[in-house]
Amino acid sequence: MKPIIIDKKCGASESVCKALKACPLGAISYIEIDEPILSREVNCTSSPTADSGCGCNCDCGDGSSDCGGSPYGRIIIDYDKCTICGICVDECCGNAIEMVV
Residues that bind ligand SF4 in the complex, under the rule CB under 6 A: 3, 5, 10-13, 16-20, 23, 25, 27-28, 55-56, 75, 77, 82-88, 92-94, 96-97
Question: Residue 9 Cβ, how far from ligand SF4 at the closest point, in Å?
Answer: 6
Question: Residue 33 Cβ, how far from ligand SF4 at the closest point, in Å?
Answer: 15
Question: Residue 49 Cβ, how far from ligand SF4 at the closest point, in Å?
Answer: 12
**Of 3 and 49, CB closest to ligand SF4:** 3
When CB distances to ligand SF4 are compared, the closest residue is: 94
State the SS3 of the chain.
CEEEECHHHCCCCCCCCHHHHHCCCCCEEEEECCCCCCCCCCCCCCCCCCCCCCCCCCCCCCCCCCCCCCCCEEEEECCCCCCCCCHHHHHCCCCCEEEEC
